């Protein structure tokens, strides 16, 4: 098991997997099911854009709950791997070769899907497949305009915090080439907004795109501070304060973002899901970070 980088990071990884589990159970499947004869082992129905990610998250959740995923579930994930080691959202016909990773059409193998698959394969002992995927993932790495090495979502695109954060977590879980992972962490650190700014501690999505991005901040923090799978921490720390390093900057910003106001931009159809997730996040952060009382709006 890879140890967490800090007390609050050990706690946050509980939140990440638990939140993913709730989101998947509400939006994708209520219980493990086989989607179709050709997809034996796939949890839920095929998703053109994210079946690999959803399957990987389900496997990670089971491992975190100390449950053994079925062999069919693992075999389905292995069967989705492209010849070059990469993964894309979903391959309906695995006898056909994978397409190209294409940033203009947002199609083909991607860093995000591949990173999630690496995390899942590593925890179930499929290290050869995970390392093959890691080699493809690292092949995407490119030097950003700011001079730092990052990973784009698709080949020949600008690196971003989301893809780099997921990739960093996956590669570190494998213990893969520290000289590469250190550079990826430096890239993520270069995107963090200074603490003196009103959105201090947040991350940009790309170096060329100004403004705080909450999703990029979360995945950047996940890459720098967390580890997979999630297990109960040995103890709990207090809420991090912005300023010491990239990890505390990102963590302090995310902590301040967990509030009922986060529901304001969610459509009515997603209200139940969003409130459930906010409840989980807040309760977990309350336990992990000792941040005080729950907001009244989440008690009703």
Each residue of 3-37: pLDDT tens digit?
434 433 344 444 444 444 433 433 333 333 444 44
Judgement on whether residues 220 and 266 belong to the same structural domain of the protein: no
CB 224 within 8 A of CB 171: no
Give 143's strand partners.
149
Nearest to 111 by CA among 60, 170, 58, 61: 170
Output the six-digit token pair for 118.
Answer: 């690496």
Q: To the nearest whole percent, how much of the chain has pLDDT over 70? A: 71
Contacts of 182 (CB under 8 A, 6+ apart): none
Does a structural domain hold residue 177?
Answer: yes
The arithmetic mean of pLDDT across residues 169-191, rounded, is: 95
Q: What is the crossing angle of helices 111-123 and 161-174, to 10°? A: 20
Q: Give the pLDDT of residue 97.
A: 95
Q: Please give the tally of structural domains in the chain.
A: 2
Give 236-259 pLDDT, tens digit per residue.
667 788 987 998 899 888 888 875
Q: 297 and 195 in one domain?
A: no
The boundaries of the domain holding residue 139 are 7-257
Element (H, E) at 63: helix 51-64
Q: Are 208 and 265 part of one and the same domain?
A: no
């Amino acid at each position: 098991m890879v140890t967490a980088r800090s007390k609050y990071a050990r706690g946050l990884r509980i939140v990440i997997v638990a939140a993913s589990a709730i989101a998947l159970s509400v939006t994708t499947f209520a219980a493990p099911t086989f989607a179709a004869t050709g997809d034996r082992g796939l949890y839920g129905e095929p998703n053109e854009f994210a079946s690999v990610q959803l399957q990987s998250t389900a496997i990670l959740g089971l491992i975190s709950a100390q449950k053994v995923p079925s062999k069919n579930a693992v075999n389905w994930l292995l069967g989705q791997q492209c010849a070059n080691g990469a993964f894309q959202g979903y391959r309906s016909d695995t006898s056909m070769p994978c397409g190209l990773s294409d940033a203009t059409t947002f199609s083909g193998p991607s860093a995000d899907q591949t990173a999630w698959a690496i995390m899942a394969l590593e925890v179930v002992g499929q290290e050869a497949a995970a390392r093959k995927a890691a080699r493809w993932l690292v092949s995407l790495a490119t030097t950003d305009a700011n001079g730092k090495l990052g990973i784009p979502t698709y080949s020949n695109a600008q690196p971003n915090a989301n893809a780099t954060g997921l990739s960093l977590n996956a590669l570190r879980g494998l213990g893969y080439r520290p000289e590469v992972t250190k550079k990826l962490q430096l890239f993520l650190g270069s995107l963090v907004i200074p603490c003196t700014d009103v959105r201090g501690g947040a991350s940009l999505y790309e170096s060329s795109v100004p403004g705080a991005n909450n999703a990029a901040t979360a995945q950047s923090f996940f890459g720098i501070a967390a580890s997979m799978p999630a297990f109960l921490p040995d103890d709990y720390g207090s809420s991090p304060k912005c300023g010491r390093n990239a990890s505390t900057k990102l963590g302090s910003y995310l902590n301040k973002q967990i509030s009922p106001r986060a529901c304001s931009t969610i459509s009515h159809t997603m209200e139940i899901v969003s409130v459930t997730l906010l409840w989980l996040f807040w309760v977990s952060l309350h336990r992990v970070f000792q941040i005080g009382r729950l907001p009244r709006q989440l008690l009703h």
